[in-house]
Amino acid sequence: MPVLDSYAVDVPEISYARTADGVNIAYQVVGDGQVDLVFVPQVMSNLVIFWENPRWSAFVRDLASFSRLILFDRRGVGLSDRPGGVPPLEQRMDDVRAVMDAVASERAALLGSSPDGAMAALFAATYPERVSALVLYAVPPRAKWAPDYPWGAREETARRVLEESEQRFARPDYVAELAQRQYPTLASNQEALDWAVRATRLSTSPGALAAVRRMNLEIDVRTVLPTIRVPTLVLHRSGDRYVPVEVGRFVAQRIPAAIYRELEGIDHIPWIGGPDDVVAAVRDFVERICREKPWEEAEPDRVLATILFTDIVDSTEKALTLGDARWRELLSEHHNRVRGQLARFRGREIDTAGDGFFASFDGPARAIRCACAVRDAVKELGVDIRAGLHAGECELIDGKAGGVAVHIGARVAAEAAPGEVLVSSTVKDLVAGSGISFEDRGVHELKGVGEWHLFTVAAPRADF
């Protein structure tokens, strides 16, 4: 088969955006429409190699015909930097923000598909002020089977898929098998299969791909879906053989006011097997939202945030032992150290009450690391704290976070033992790939907010 010459392909200019943690993200801008549209990359991407594929290039140029289309390779893939480890969802969100900032996009529509669409959903819930509209195409909110989610993979199946993805990486026979489920209409097209082998090899590596898929298996954004307040369109093909159409219906039912459109076809990949229908649906929705500009009526009053509560263990006894003057000195140094860690991990102090702190974060892993850092920093003062975290939808009241999520966070903190960082299951589900490990603390009845599954952060230090 003749090898495509990438130099003969019209590849748009490649630029780099630098994230807050110093990672360079490769991106391209195509088109000059009035609507900014960010196409969130899938597990594999390469801003040069993908332009060699006529189906992909036609698809993105059609998207760019009505938008200023923003493409990028996420960290660890394609032309972007490949730092060690697997990027958790909040680092992937940082990549999007860095690219949007680099191209001076204050607000953009997001188009996400497949498992990486979960990040787009989380971004829209966390930063609604940056998102004009959200389009989710065949996005599973969870990968593994659960009693209330029958479309996920069982443990044994998931393990086998992970092993095969690494052991048979980019092998032509393995790619052909995947094609039967992901893009069956081209499963017998040898040219398409050969390109898929080439694109896989030049986008990632066996270990990196297996690591990302292992992380994706742990992600669960089902609790995030009801917190999405931006206009949302959910697309799914009726005969999708990779992600069942029931998943699309499930997602749409859980996002407030989401529009659901079921398209004809059996291919999972949006730019194969009827891409015109996908482009037309995206265009109609995004252009309508941008004409109506609903964000001009009112700024978002609800966001997804991670709530942290801390307080000093046995503070009354310690105050009585030390006396007023020494206790005030200790408390002042405690507050300084807590605020130093909040600044380090991008936390926002909401309130203090005596020896307790209430703060919010835009990423759950940062919130956990901050809690551990606070615990370690004040331990040097001879002080133990307890910390509790919960992620949920918060109401913005006079710029401060409120609502049920805050009450749940306070109740979680009340269950924590001295020196313990305790989190709700919602927090745990959102930090896959962060390197943070947990120990199961079981289901607890939290006063006034029902039963919650809680977990202890197992890592002993803040710098894990």
All structural domains of the chain, each given as residue ranges with its CATH number in brackets, are 6-296 (3.40.50.1820), 302-457 (3.30.70.1230)
3-state DSSP assignment of residue 86: coil
Query: Could you report the per-residue pLDDT of 433-460, keeping only the tens digit for each?
Result: 888 999 999 999 999 999 999 999 996 4
Residue 462: the pLDDT is: 44
Q: Is residue 1 very low, low, confident or very high in pLDDT (cuts 50, 70, 90)?
A: very low
Residue 402: the pLDDT is: 78
Residue 300: the pLDDT is: 66
* CA of residue 416 relative to chain centroid, distance: 27
**What percentage of the chain carries pLDDT values higher than 90?**
82
* CA of residue 462 relative to chain centroid, distance: 22
Kindly tell me the sign of the dihedral angle through the C-alpha atoms of 56, 62, 67, 68. positive
Q: Is residue 278 very low, low, confident or very high in pLDDT (cuts 50, 70, 90)?
A: very high
With a cut of 80, say whether residue 5 has pLDDT above it: no
Residue 301: the pLDDT is: 72
With a cut of 60, say whether residue 65 has pLDDT above it: yes
Task: Kindly report each contact of residues 196-200 with a partner whose C-beta sits within 8 Å and lies 24 or more positions away, as own/partner.
Answer: 197/170, 197/171, 197/172, 198/3, 198/49, 199/44, 199/46, 199/49, 199/50, 199/53, 200/44, 200/169, 200/170, 200/175
Strands (E), 252-297: 259-263
Rg (CA), the chain: 23
Mean pLDDT on 268-294: 95
Residue 302: the pLDDT is: 80
Q: Is residue 375 very low, low, confident or very high in pLDDT (cuts 50, 70, 90)?
A: very high
Mean pLDDT on 293-317: 87
Name the pairing type of β-strands 67-72 and 35-39. parallel
Measuring CA to CA, which residue among 110, 104, 106 is closest to residue 92? Answer: 110
Measuring CA to CA, which residue among 393, 415, 413, 414 is closest to residue 404? Answer: 393
Task: Give CA separation, 72 vs 41, 109, 450, in Å.
Answer: 7, 15, 42
Residue 2: the pLDDT is: 41
Query: Could you report the per-residue pLDDT of 22-60, keeping only the tens digit for each?
Result: 999 999 999 999 999 999 988 899 999 999 999 999 999
Question: What do you get for the CA distance between the two ends of the chain, in Å?
Answer: 48
With a cut of 80, say whether residue 461 has pLDDT above it: no
Residue 435: the pLDDT is: 86
Mean pLDDT on 56-67: 97
Query: Could you report the per-residue pLDDT of 204-236, keeping only the tens digit for each?
Result: 999 999 988 888 898 999 999 999 999 999 999
